[in-house]
Amino acid sequence: MNDKDYQAILAKLTLDEKVCMCSGSTTWLTQPIKRDDVDIPAVRMSDGPVGLRREKMSGGVNIMQIPEPATCFPGAVTTASSWDEDLIEEVGHAIAVEAQSLGVSTVLGPGVNIKRSPLCGRNFEYFSEDPFLAGRMGAAWVHGVQKTNVGTSLKHYLANNQEYIRMCIDSIVDERTLREIYMPAFEHIVKTEHPTTVMCSYNRLNGTYLSDNKRFLTDVLRDEWGYKGIVVSDWGAVNNRAEGIKAGMDLEMPGGKGIGFNGNNIYNALENGTLTEEDIDKVVLRLIKFAYENKVREVDGVTYDVEEHNQIARRAAEGGAVLLKNDGALPLKANQSIAVIGKLAKKLRYQGGGSSHILPHKVTSFLDALDNAGQKYEYADGYTLKGEGYKKSLIKKAVKAAKGKDAVLLFIGLTDAFESEGYDRSHIKMPTSHVTLVNELLKVNKNVIVVLSCGSPVEIGEWDKGVKAILNVYLGGQAGGEATYNLLYGKVNPSGKLAETFPVCENDYLGSKYFRMGPRTVEYRESVYVGYRYYDSAKK
Ligand code: GLC
């Protein structure tokens, strides 16, 4: 099929059919048009960046239905720390195969928003504070998915760098900062990998919602960068549907029956002359092309080896782990007596919260990996996973377990309550019980090895001097426990490098002063001084 064919199909459509196509037909499906001589297929979309979240229910407005099981790979914060494009491409390919096996033809990722501040609750889903690295890592993911004949959604375009009132906050960003920091990752991926969709974000940018923003959706994305795909709204991000059509926002999601949630807005604009049918035709032509080139591939018979994908997840977790400190305590030897302290060793935190959260085929915790290896150990919870996790009796038991051991493996970091899509952190400290544990354990055993499990930086300056080693495993996906075992016992050499800065303490960071703000605007007053660009210039 070519553009002439798509034009011919467009010519056959009624106005009503065109308006229907401007939004999805359900939460995850675009609008098919099937009648006598028209057969426009539907495209099925699903999240997301760490693995497939294909809902068991194909319809309904509630997007948080139970998903089909899939492989949970490490998220972007972890894979970016591998700096390994081939590894990330392999993860993208595996996710795409799983998408095909369940008839999904567009996977809603990658998220390449820049980590303006370590406080953003969704940083676990993004690659870096640096636009070059974020662009290259995101491009590898897109390449892996799209070489497998499955589409992607480059998100969240643009300057969506916090969760706090994300649906209406107005990001105030100067042109140089946009061009040098917040746009380059999107520009690189659009120009080199041609993602099938770009997802516009919820927020406003310099006064205009991205879903109505002609400058960024047409003048920059299409005219300057040559983008040929479609723009899809973030779910529920549409502000003014008619303005969006003129701005180049093609597909409103989620959709609903018939003309969708905002079809009337289109008809009213046609009536009052602020929108023409030609405006709609431009959008619908792109949607017809998109539908034919990305239709639901109910490819029967695509299967995959679940264990093989689990091993890819393990290798990605191994590649993304960062050894922050080691004064010789690692690698461990099998004949060393060890205490394993921390609920995160038993209940692996392997993915973040929100729309990227999936149902894994299996999860291997660190204790599972020790058991599988026949490694003896004494375990203690140390803390609970609720709030600050503080329970005196648990600390006492942990201290008792640590006494007299050759090494103490202490699992600390962030729990689900501390970071997720939908809200930001108000500080970068770990739960207080985790810090108390470090200090209490050091009183009885000098050989403490910390395994950090978090989706974004935490303050380590209070205790990093006293411990012998710190292995940052971030959020390692379903095979994270096995990867951690292999890294601690030297079966794999930890070779990840940080893709973001860990501030020694939060108020060292200029950006945090201007983070979040509100009630209506957030001013990016730190300009280009984001992450290491700031620390290097401020010599901090
Ligand atoms: C969410 C997220 C987006 C996700 C979409 C569908 O609000 O912002 O990343 O792909 O909705 O779940």
Q: Whose Cα sits closest to atom 7 in ligand 1?
A: 235
Per-residue pLDDT tens digits for 110-145:
999 999 999 999 999 999 999 999 999 999 999 999
Q: CA 160 → CA 9, 107, 193, 214, 346, distances in Å?
A: 36, 20, 22, 17, 34
Ligand 1 midpoint to CA 311 (Å)? 27
Distance 54 CA to ligand 1 centre (A): 13
Residue nearest to ligand 1 atom 2, measured at CA:
355
Q: How many CA atoms lie within 13 A of 538 on its CB side?
A: 16
Report the separation in Å between the CA atom of 157 and the middle of ligand 1, taken as the mean of its atom positions. Answer: 12
pLDDT of residue 297: 61
Position 509 scores a pLDDT of 83
The structure tokens 């201007």 sit at 514
User: How far is ligand 1, taken at its centre, from the CA of residue 420, in Å?
Assistant: 13
What b/e readout covers 27-61, taking b as 16+ CB neighbours within 10 angstroms? bbbbbbbeeeeeebbbbbbbbbbbbbbbbeeeeee
Question: Does the C-beta of 498 come closer than 6 Å to ligand 1?
Answer: no
Rounded distance, CA 524 to CA 540, Å? 20
Pairing of strands 521-523, 33-35: unpaired
| Atom number of ligand 1 nearest to Cα 53 | 12
| Residue 157 CB less than 6 A away from ligand 1 | no
Give the number of the atom of ligand 1 that is nearest the alpha carbon of residue 237: 7
- Pairing mode of beta strands 208-209, 230-233: unpaired
What are 15-40's pLDDT values in tens digits? 999 999 999 999 999 999 999 999 99
Give the Å distance between the CA of 234 and the centre of ligand 1.
6
All residues at 6 or more sequence positions from 161 whose CB lies less than 8 Å from its CB, including other chains:
113, 114, 115, 116, 117, 120, 171, 182
Q: Of the listed 84, 234, 250, 279, which one is catalytic?
A: 234
Using an 8 Å Cβ cutoff, are 384 and 342 in contact?
no
Q: Is 50 in the pocket of ligand 1 (CB under 6 A)?
A: no
One-letter amino acid of 91 = V
Tell me 29's DSSP state: B
236 lines ligand 1 (CB under 6 A): no
What type of residue sits at position 215? R
- Residue 143 CA neighbour count, 13 Å, CB half: 17
The CA–CA distances, whole Å, from 2 to 113, 285, 291 equal 33, 11, 13
pLDDT means over runs of 10, the chain (540 residues): 96 98 94 95 95 76 72 98 98 97 95 97 98 98 96 98 96 98 99 98 98 98 98 98 98 91 96 98 98 75 94 98 97 98 97 94 98 98 96 98 98 94 94 97 98 97 95 98 98 98 86 84 96 95
Torsion of CA 17, 23, 26, 27, to 10 degrees: 170
Q: What pLDDT sits at residue 60?
A: 47
For residue 312, which phi and psi values (nearest 5 degrees)? -65, -40
Paired sense of beta strands 208-209 and 204-205, if any: antiparallel
> How far does the centroid of ligand 1 lie from the alpha carbon of residue 156, in Å?
9
235 and 221 in contact (C-beta within 8 Å)?
A: no
**Which atom of ligand 1 has the smallest separation from the CA of 153?**
10
Both tokens assigned to 72: 């949970």
Residue 372 has which token pair? Answer: 């599988």
> Coil, strand, or helix at residue 231?
strand
> Is the CB of residue 138 below 6 angstroms from any atom belonging to ligand 1?
no
CA of 105 from ligand 1 middle (Å) equals 16
**Which of 214-242 are b and which e, b meaning 16 or more Cβ less than 10 Å from the residue's Cβ?**
eebbbebbbeebebebbbbbbbebbbbbb
Establish how many alpha carbons lie within 13 A of residue 299's alpha carbon, considering only the half-sphere containing its beta carbon: 17
Cα of 123 from ligand 1 centre, angstroms: 14
Phi and psi at residue 261, in whole multiples of 5°? -70, -25
**Nearest of 219, 221, 273, 207 to residue 242 by alpha carbon:** 273
Pocket test for ligand 1, best of 64, 106, 108, 421 (most atoms within 8 A of CB): 108
Closest protein CA for atom 8 of ligand 1: 234
Atom of ligand 1 nearest to the CA of 355: 12
Pairing between β-strand 106-107 and β-strand 45-46 as defined by DSSP bridges: parallel
Model pLDDT, residue 283: 98
- Among this protein's residues, is 234 annotated catalytic? yes
Whether the predicted model's global pTM rises above the 0.95 cut? yes
Give the per-residue pLDDT at 510: 83
Cβ burial 399-410 (10 Å sphere, 16+ → b, else e) = bebbeebebbbb
Q: Give the integer Cα–Cα distance in Å for 379 and 382.
A: 9
Nearest CA to ligand 1 atom 11: 235
355 CB within 6 A, ligand 1: yes
Would the CB of 47 count as within 6 Å of ligand 1?
Answer: yes
Q: Kindly report the protein residue whose alpha carbon is nearest to atom 12 of ligand 1.
A: 355
Q: Is the CB of 130 under 6 A from ligand 1?
A: no
Q: Report the atom number in ligand 1 closest to the C-alpha of 108.
A: 10
Task: Write out the H or E segment, with its range, that includes residue 444.
Answer: helix 432-444
Strands 106-107 and 151-157: parallel
| Cα–ligand 1 centroid distance for 518 (angstroms) | 22
Distance 514 CA to ligand 1 centre (A): 25
Pocket test residue of 231, 355, 420, 421 for ligand 1, highest count of atoms within 8 A of CB: 355
Pairwise CA distance, residues 314 & 490, whole Å = 15
In terms of Cα–Cα distance, which of 45, 38, 37 is closest to 18?
A: 38
Q: Which residues of 145-167 are buried (b: 16+ CB within 10 A; e: fewer)?
A: bbebebbbbbbbbbbbbbbbbbe
Task: For CA atoms 162, 261, 49, 106, give the dihedral sign.
Answer: negative
CA-proximal residue: ligand 1, atom 5 (nearest):
235
**Residue from 46, 47, 166, 200 whose mutation best tests the ligand 1 pocket (most atoms within 8 A of CB):** 47
Longest dimension (CA), the chain: 81
Query: Is residue 234 within 6 Å of ligand 1 at its C-beta?
Result: yes
In eight-state DSSP terms, residue 124 is G
- How far apart (Å, rounded) are the C-alpha atoms in residues 246 and 275? 7
Residue-level pLDDT at 302: 87
Residue 135 vs residues 140, 186, 232, 397: alpha-carbon distances, Å:
9, 7, 20, 46
